[in-house]
Structure 1
Amino acid sequence: MARRKVGVVGYGHLGQYLVEHLLSSETCELCFVWNRTTSALKGKVDDKYILDDLEMFSQCGADLIVEVAHPVITETYGEKFLHDADYMVGSPTGLAKKELELKLRNATVKHGLYIPAGALWGGEDIKKMADRDTLKAVKLTMSFHPSSFRLLGELDVKNKAVKEKKTVLYDGEVRPLCSLAPSNTNTMAAASLAAHTLGFDKVQGCLIADPELTDYHIIQTEVWGNSHIKDKVFYVCTVRKNPATKGHVTGSATYNSFLSSVYGANGKGPGVHLC
C-alpha cells in the first residue's frame, strides 16, 4: 500500500517535530517542507524536500497538507490547498473570521478540512452532542505562565503588567479573543468548530496569566448539555495539566497529539472533520 504523501507548511518547534517523525514513518511520506525563511531549512532538511515557493505546492503531489505556521497561511492558501489535497489547519484561530470559515467549508467538495484536537480533551464528544443538538454550552479556561503568551493589543499590555498575582486576562466569547491571542487560542478554536451548533460566538473562553505555572499549561474544559430527564442538565469538567517549558506556547503532550492527528487526517472524505 502506497504511503500517504504529506506536505508541511512551517518549520517552528512543531514543524520540526513533524518532519522528523514523517521522515521515519512507515505509513506517511514527507513530500515537501516550506518555511517563510528558507534559510532556516538549509542544513536541517534535505534539499529535495525544500519548497521555495508555496505557490508551487501542487507540483509536489501531496495527499495531505499540514499547516503549522500562522493563520494567514489558511487565509491565503486554504482554498487552493483544498482543491488539490486534504488540508489540516494547525492554526484554526484563523477560522474565527466568518467569511474564511464559510469559504473553506464550501471548498471541501473533493477533499477534507481537518481540525487537530491538539490540547482539546473530549472534542469528539462535544461534536457528537452538537450533531444530536443536545449541546447547551462550552467553556474553556486556559492558564499559562505570562511568558507563554503571544498576545496583541490590550491583552498584551495587561499580560505584561502581571508580576506575582494570578490574573484573568479575558473572559468572554471566543471569536474576538482569537484575533488578540492567535497563538494561544487554537484549542478554543478547535472547540468552537467541534461545537458547531454554538460556534465561535457562543463558546466561551477564559485566559489566565499565572506566574506560578512555570512547568505546566492547564486547560479546563466545561460542557453543559440537555438530558432525557426533565429539569436535569448534563455537565462534565475535564482538567488537562500539560507539562510545558516556561515561555513556550505549546505543551509537550500536544506534540504527540498533533502527530496522531496527522495520521488520523485520512479517509473521511469531503467536509470538516476533527482529528
Structure 2
Amino acid sequence: MTSASKIRVGVVGYGNMGHYLTKAIEDNDNLELAFVWNRSTEALEGNVKSDCILKDLNDFAIFSPDLIVEVAHPCITREYGAKFLQYADYMIGSPTALADKDLEVTLRKAARVHGLYVPSGAFWGGEDIKKMADRGTLQALKVTISKHPYSFKLEGDLKEKNSRVTGDTAVELYSGPVRELCPLAPNNVNTMAVAALAAHNLGFDGVQCRLVSDPKLTDWHIVEVETWGPGDISKDKAFHCHTVRRNPAQIGNVTGSATYVSFLSSMVRAHGKGPGVHLC
C-alpha cells in the first residue's frame, strides 16, 4: 500500500458493530472495504457487495487487506490472530482474549512485521495510563463497570448471580483481578482488558476490577477508572485520578451508543505505527 492508496479493511463479524463499521468504511474516502466475514453468510447477502463477502475465513489473504478488524468473539483471535498478523495489521475488538497468557505472548511475537491494535473503546485516559506504565510510575489501577442486569452476557456463576438481581438494589457480581473475570464476561469487560494492556506494568493480574449489576441503570453504562501514581498510597499521599464515564445505552444493549463512534475513530487510527502492540 502506498501513502496515496486507500486502506483496505476487512471486517470480521457482522453484528451491530460490524454493520456500523462496514457502512462507515464505505462512506470514508480514505478507506476501502476488502471483505466482510460473518458466521452466518445470510446476514451479509443483500447488505454487503457480493465481491466483498468472505465465506471461508481461512481465505482472508486472497482479499489483500491492509487492516483486519475483529468485532465478533474472542475465539476469532485465538484461532486466527497470529495468522492475520502475518498478512496485515490487526485490530482486536474483543481484547478479553488476551487474558490468556499464552495467547498474549503468541500475538506479541507475531506482531513483528504488522501491528496489533487495541481500541480504547470506553476506556477513558488510556494513553496517559500507558505513559505512566512506561515510566514505571503507575502503582495501581481499578476499573468498575456498572450496567443494567439485562445488558450483561455472562458465563458460569456470574450468570446465575446476575439472574437473581431484582428490585432496585445494585449487586456486586465480581471484585478482583481482570484476568479471572474475562472468561466469565467476554462480551462485557473489553474495557477492563484494554486497561490491563495499557497498564502493562500491572497487567491482567495486577489491574483490579468490579462488575456491578444495577437495575436502576435503564439509560446508561457507567465506567469508573481510578488511577494511582507517584507517592505514598498507604498514607493517601499518592497521585490519584478518578474518572466517571456515563455512556448512553438502552436496556439489553451490550455496547453503549458512544462506543460505536469511539471504535470507528480507533479503526481510522489503526495504521502506520509499525510492528508491536498499540493503543488506538
TM-score, normalized by length of structure 2?
Answer: 0.96
Return the match for 2:196 from 183, 192, 195: 192
* Aligned residue identity for 1:219: V
Question: In the TM superposition, what whole-angstrom CA distance separates every residue of 1:182-201 from its partner, at most 9, and x where no partner exists?
Answer: 00010000000000000000
User: Could you tell me which residue of structure 2 aligns to residue 59 of structure 1?
Assistant: 62
Return the match for 1:176 from 174, 180, 187: 180
Return the match for 1:268 from 254, 270, 273: 273
Return the match for 2:85 from 72, 79, 82: 82
Q: Percent of counterpart pairs with the same letter?
A: 59
Tell me, in whole angstroms, the C-alpha distance in 2 between the residues paired with 1:20 and 1:5: 14
* Aligned residue identity for 1:204: Q
Tell me, in whole angstroms, the C-alpha distance in 2 between the residues paired with 1:93 and 1:52: 26
* Aligned residue identity for 2:89: D
Return the match for 1:238 from 236, 243, 263: 243
Contact 1:134 1:227 in 2 (8 A): no
User: Could you tell me which residue of structure 1 aligns to residue 214 of structure 2?
Assistant: 210
Secondary structure in 2 matching 1:218: strand
State the shift of 1:227 in Å: 4.6
* Aligned residue identity for 1:236: C
Return the match for 1:258 from 256, 259, 263: 263
Question: In the TM superposition, what whole-angstrom CA distance separates every residue of 1:6-41 from its partner, at most 9, and x where no partner exists?
Answer: 000000000000001101111111110000011111
User: Could you tell me which residue of structure 1 aligns to residue 170 of structure 2?
Assistant: 166
Secondary structure in 1 matching 2:139: strand
1:3 matched to 2:6? The reply is: yes
* Aligned residue identity for 1:41: L
Question: In the TM superposition, what whole-angstrom CA distance separates every residue of 1:209-234 from its partner, at most 9, and x where no partner exists?
Answer: 00010110000000001159xx7311
- In structure 2, the gaps of 5 or more residues are none
TM-score, normalized by length of structure 1?
Answer: 0.98
* Aligned residue identity for 1:249: V
Secondary structure in 1 matching 2:221: strand
Secondary structure in 2 matching 1:219: strand
Return the match for 2:101 from 95, 98, 111: 98
Secondary structure in 2 matching 1:62: coil
Question: In the TM superposition, what whole-angstrom CA distance separates every residue of 1:242-268 from its partner, at most 9, and x where no partner exists?
Answer: 000110000000000000000010110
Return the match for 1:123 from 117, 126, 129: 126
Secondary structure in 2 matching 1:135: coil
Tell me, in whole angstroms, the C-alpha distance in 2 between the residues paired with 1:66 and 1:216: 26
User: Could you tell me which residue of structure 2 aligns to residue 147 of structure 1?
Assistant: 150
Tell me, in whole angstroms, the C-alpha distance in 1 between the residues paired with 2:48 and 2:87: 24
Return the match for 1:25 from 25, 28, 38: 28
Tell me, in whole angstroms, the C-alpha distance in 2 between the residues paired with 1:119 and 1:227: 28
* Aligned residue identity for 1:50: I
State the shift of 1:141 in Å: 0.5
State the shift of 1:85 in Å: 0.3
Contact 1:72 1:94 in 2 (8 A): yes
State the shift of 1:67 in Å: 0.1
User: Could you tell me which residue of structure 2 aligns to residue 44 of structure 1?
Assistant: 47
User: Could you tell me which residue of structure 2 aligns to residue 133 of structure 1?
Assistant: 136
Moved over 4 A (4+): none
The CA RMSD measured in Å over matched residues stands at 0.9
State the shift of 1:147 in Å: 0.2
Return the match for 1:226 from 230, 240, 244: 230
Figure out how many residues of one structure are paired with residues of the other and give that number.
273
Tell me, in whole angstroms, the C-alpha distance in 1 between the residues paired with 2:257 and 2:142: 23
Secondary structure in 2 matching 1:72: helix
* Aligned residue identity for 2:244: V
